[in-house]
């Protein structure tokens, strides 16, 4: 891998940019790998990357049925924050945020991490109390976050309508270190890092079956032939249930569409990220000037990557109430991703009933912000069979009633 640097740009400028190489190789699959990761989204690629970088396991393939980063990694609103209520979540999301802070340097790839500050509006007494509780919990966990007044909210977000026809803004939970990153660059950067360590990233390769012998994984069948593996990491978000079915077990997940959309580009109007969980809308402005907008999940199972008009309408209503300028904007694009929701709205990073198969799923509506931390924990779990960060997120928590209940803590989506 040739490193990107100012000197590389200068060198290429002098020779018609003919020397840039492809960021990652696209090889044919080998017969066998030590670890096969299914799913070349952010979480899958980060898992492979830290397997190589931290644990020295580089005989790894990352299998992807579509194109790299084409699932939820390329379909979210790129929000990054770590001020979660529960200890286990705060730990893994804080790890992720810390890794994001140094990710561009680590990967030698500009992921455009932008710690522009993130607000979660409190628009009811209940939310206000909830967020103040989060501030105290985060102080104990060593996660920086603060409660700010409605006047401070107006200073940070001049376009906001504080009085709102339905729910006035009472204040906000504010994390100054939160922000956004370029979602594609995160996937591409990790892919480049994996490829440089000799890992194979195989796109357009769908898993059609999982082979097990005596409750132990042997390999997978794909549209590009059979591949044997020592260990199998399933990191496929909304399609986790489909893969689990192939391996002969079920997961406590429901796959639902979550959508996002962007407006036409305009001059800078908002330089922070704002989430409003009660009326349910998210807003930030991309570097191109588009407002990046999102809302809640649909209320039924859905595998279509579209999302319903009903949710689109509800969220737009909330946006127009909260930020009246939005009513004048044309929308450019809308899309949906298939998110996997668990009973307690917390992820699953776990061993499974089949020996050698590991799952990293259930990130639901909040997966992008977790990518580096999730990959870190999953890699440790696959390599060593145990990870302190993943400890609370095992599959057995549903049977034992040890929930990490972020659905209560985060209002709805997170």
- End-to-end C-alpha distance for the chain, whole angstroms: 37
Residue 253 within binding range of other proteins, rule CB under 8 A: yes
3-state SS of the chain is CCCCCHHHHHHHHCCCCCCCCCCCCCCCCCCEEEEEEECCCHHHHHHHHHHHHCCCCCCEEEECCCCCCCCHHHCCCCEECCCCCCHHHHHHHHHHHHHHHCHHHHHCCCCCCECCCEEEEECCHHHHHHHHHHHHHHHHHCCCCEEEEHHHHHHHCCCCCCCCCCCCCCEEEEECCCEECCHHHHHHHHHHHHHHCCCEEECCCCEEEEEEECCEEEEEEECCEEEEEEEEEECCHHHHHHHHHHHCCCCCEEEEEEEEEEECCCCCCCCCEEEECCCCEEEEECCCCCEEEEEEEEEEECCCCCCCHHHHHHHHHHHHHHCHHHHHCCEEEEEEEEEEEECCCCCEEEECCCECEEEEECCHHHCHHHHHHHHHHHHHHHHHCCCCCCHHHCCCHHHHCCCCCHHHHCCCCC
Residue 301 within binding range of other proteins, rule CB under 8 A: yes
Residues 6+ apart with CB under 8 A from 403: 343, 344, 346, 397
Q: Which two tokens stand for residue 4?
A: 């990107």
Whichever of 67 and 249 has its CB closer to other proteins, that residue is: 249
Residue 408 within binding range of other proteins, rule CB under 8 A: no
Residue 250 within binding range of other proteins, rule CB under 8 A: yes
Stretch that binds other proteins, among 19-27, 218-226, 261-269, 393-401 (CB under 8 A): 393-401
Residue 164 within binding range of other proteins, rule CB under 8 A: no
Whichever of 230 and 343 has its CB closer to other proteins, that residue is: 343
Among 177, 239, 351, 414, binds other proteins (CB under 8 A): 239
Whichever of 200 and 344 has its CB closer to other proteins, that residue is: 344
Residue 66 within binding range of other proteins, rule CB under 8 A: no
Rounded to the nearest whole angstrom, what is the least distance from the CB of residue 385 to other proteins in the complex?
23
Residue 241 within binding range of other proteins, rule CB under 8 A: yes
Stretch that binds other proteins, among 112-120, 141-149, 297-305, 405-413 (CB under 8 A): 297-305
Residue 251 within binding range of other proteins, rule CB under 8 A: yes
Residue 304 within binding range of other proteins, rule CB under 8 A: yes
Stretch that binds other proteins, among 139-147, 249-257, 274-282, 380-388 (CB under 8 A): 249-257
Stretch that binds other proteins, among 46-54, 164-172, 201-209, 293-301 (CB under 8 A): 293-301
Among 299, 324, 353, 385, binds other proteins (CB under 8 A): 299
Stretch that binds other proteins, among 35-43, 110-118, 209-217, 247-255 (CB under 8 A): 247-255
The closest of 236, 253, 239, 259 to 75, measured between CA atoms, is: 259
Whichever of 1 and 242 has its CB closer to other proteins, that residue is: 242
Per-residue interface string for the shown chain with other proteins, residues 95-114, x marking contact by CB under 8 A: --------------------
Residue 386 within binding range of other proteins, rule CB under 8 A: no
Among 1, 9, 54, 242, binds other proteins (CB under 8 A): 242
CA angle 295, 299, 303 (to 5 degrees): 90
With CB under 8 A as the rule, give the number of residues binding other proteins: 26
Rounded to the nearest whole angstrom, what is the least distance from the CB of residue 90 to other proteins in the complex?
23
The closest of 248, 225, 260 to 367, measured between CA atoms, is: 260
Whichever of 180 and 352 has its CB closer to other proteins, that residue is: 352
Whichever of 56 and 401 has its CB closer to other proteins, that residue is: 401
Rounded to the nearest whole angstrom, what is the least distance from the CB of residue 95 to other proteins in the complex?
26
Residue 369 within binding range of other proteins, rule CB under 8 A: no
> Which residues here bind other proteins, judged by CB under 8 A?
239, 241-242, 250-255, 298-304, 306, 308-310, 313, 342-343, 398-400
């Amino acid at each position: 891998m040739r490193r990107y640097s100012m000197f590389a740009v200068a060198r290429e400028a002098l020779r018609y940019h003919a020397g840039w190489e492809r960021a990652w190789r696209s090889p044919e699959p080998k017969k066998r790998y030590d670890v096969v990761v299914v799913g070349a989204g952010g979480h899958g690629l980060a898992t492979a990357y830290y397997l190589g970088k931290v644990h020295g396991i580089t005989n790894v393939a990352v299998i992807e049925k579509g194109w790299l980063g084409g699932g939820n990694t390329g379909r979210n609103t790129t929000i990054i924050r770590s001020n979660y209520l529960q200890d286990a979540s705060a730990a893994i999301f804080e790890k992720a945020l810390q890794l994001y802070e140094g990710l561009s340097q680590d990967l030698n790839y500009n992921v455009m991490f932008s710690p522009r500050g993130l607000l979660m509006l409190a628009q009811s007494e209940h939310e206000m109390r909830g967020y103040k509780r989060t501030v105290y919990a985060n102080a104990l966990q060593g996660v920086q976050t603060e409660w700010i007044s409605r006047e401070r909210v107006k200073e940070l977000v001049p376009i906001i309508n504080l009085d709102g026809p339905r729910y006035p803004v009472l204040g906000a939970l504010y994390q100054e270190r939160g922000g956004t990153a370029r979602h594609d660059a995160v996937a591409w950067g990790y892919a480049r890092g994996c490829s440089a360590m000799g890992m194979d990233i195989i796109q357009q390769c769908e898993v059609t079956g999982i082979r097990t012998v005596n409750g132990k994984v042997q390999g997978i069948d794909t549209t590009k032939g059979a591949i044997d593996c020592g260990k199998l990491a399933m990191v496929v978000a909304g399609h986790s249930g489909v893969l689990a079915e192939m391996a002969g077990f079920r997961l406590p997940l429901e796959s639902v569409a979550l959508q996002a959309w962007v407006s036409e580009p305009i001059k800078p109007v908002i330089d922070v990220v704002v989430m409003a969980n009660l009326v349910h809308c998210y807003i930030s402005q991309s570097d191109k000037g588009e407002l990046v907008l999102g809302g809640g999940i649909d209320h039924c199972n859905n595998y279509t990557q579209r999302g319903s008009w009903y949710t689109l309408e509800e969220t737009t209503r909330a946006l127009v109430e909260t930020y009246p300028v939005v009513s004048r904007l044309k929308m450019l694009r809308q899309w949906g991703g298939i998110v996997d929701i668990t009973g307690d709205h917390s992820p699953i990073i776990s061993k499974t009933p089949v020996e050698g198969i590991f799952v990293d799923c259930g990130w639901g509506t909040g997966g992008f912000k977790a990518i580096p931390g999730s990959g870190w924990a999953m890699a440790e779990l696959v390599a060593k069979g145990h990870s302190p960060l993943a400890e609370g997120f095992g599959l057995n928590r549903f049977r034992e009633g040890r929930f990490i209940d972020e659905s209560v803590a985060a209002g709805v989506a997170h």
